Structure 1
Amino acid sequence: MASDLKETFWNRMDKVTAGLLSADSERPIPMAPQVDRENKAIWFITAKGSAADRASQSGGEARFDVADTKAGLYAVIEGKLDHGSDEKLDEIWNAFAGAWFEDGKDDEAVELVKFTPHSAEVWATENSVAFLWEVAKANFTKQTAEGGEHGRVAF
């Protein structure tokens, strides 16, 4: 099941629009993930001097929390942050990131960090119609609902 759940995780992460990234034991902040399945990594565009940037300079540990009903994914992902490259920034830059930096991609404050997950606890839920059916069925039969897949995965 773990390998199937890992595949489900990556498939659904492609649809996640935001989550909470915490690094250096600081408070979590909302971040938009850019999934790189080929390299089993998640990229974040952040600001120089942020907790994520500081942690990436030393290969620090971080956590990314996801609760995305549209993607059907809830996860607590733990991993390591590293400094990104200008080439990768060119590849993943988008209008949403540009909204946070006055000079766009060329703003001196722009920093790219690479999050490499090493473990995660994952809940992959059914779509809303299937979930409602499970709730109704559970109430009718007095059994607990089947909410999808849940487990820990190692990357």
Structure 2
Amino acid sequence: MITQEQKNELWSIIEKIKVGMLMTHDGQEYRSRPMHIVQDSFDGSLWFFTDKSSSKVYETQKDKKVCVSFGDRDKNRYVSLSGSVSISTDNQLKKKFWNPLVGAWFEGDYSSPDVALIEIKVSKAELWETDKNKLSQLYELTKAAVSDDTPDIGHNRKYG
């Protein structure tokens, strides 16, 4: 289980990135696509809008396990969150998360029957980050290649 402190740490990173790559599985193939988070806090669930008839919805009906990855190349931080997905057409929830940017992707408004929300209940997360610049990372990689040591280029934390 991911603690509230860990949720806060993860949110402090992904709220700035906003767009993550949602990976689904249709039973045979994996597929990723960029998705924009629509919430303003993280309680353990990630929320995205989608068209109810999209391939994402079909794929999540085949396999409820998904992964969303966020990357911030400028700060050398990468987050992967895994969990189970559900689809909601609840108008109160859609209204809560609706904004003009979301509206640009859909005809009508949140009450349209074609508009749905994807909720991912996050069960595990992983964070990779480094404070070393590219030259230091290259040095560590080169040193490791000639010495069989593991390069010291950052750290990795697992949650859940």
TM-score by shorter chain over 0.5? yes
Aligned to 2:15: 14
**Partner residue in 2 for 1:135:** 135
Structure 1 residues 1-155: aligned runs within 5 Å = 7-25=8-26, 26-35=30-39, 36-37=41-42, 39-54=43-58, 60-69=64-73, 73-84=77-88, 85-126=90-131, 131-132=132-133, 135-136=135-136, 139=139, 146-147=153-154, 149-154=155-160
Amino acid at match of 1:79: G
User: Unpaired segments of 5 or more residues in structure 2?
Assistant: 145-150
Shift of 1:59: 7.9
In structure 1, the gaps of 5 or more residues are none
Q: Mean alpha-carbon deviation: is it higher for 70-79 or for 24-33?
A: 70-79
Secondary structure of 1:106's counterpart equals coil
Instruction: Report the count of equivalent residues.
Output: 145
Matches of 2:137 and 2:25 in 1, distance apart? 44
Deviation of the 1:146 alpha carbon: 4.4
Classify 1:111/1:137 alpha carbon distance in 2 versus 1 (closer, same or farther; 3 Å).
closer
Aligned-pair distance for 1:150?
A: 1.4
The 3-state SS of whatever aligns with 1:119 is strand
Instruction: Give the letter for the 2:94 counterpart.
Output: L
Larger C-alpha radius of gyration, 1 or 2?
2
CA RMSD of aligned residues (A): 3.2
Deviations 1:60-95 (A, max 9, x none): 111112113357531222110112332221111122
Distance 2:152 2:51 in 1: 43
- Cα displacement (A) at 1:17: 1.8
Determine the C-alpha separation between the residues in 2 that align with 1:56 and 1:9.
Answer: 24
The one-letter code of the counterpart of 2:71 is A
How far apart are residue 51 of structure 1 and its match? 3.8
- Secondary structure class of the residue paired with 2:58: helix
Q: Runs (4+) of structure 1 moved beyond 6 Å?
A: none
| d(CA) in 1 for partners of 2:108, 2:66 | 28
**Identity, % of aligned positions:** 22
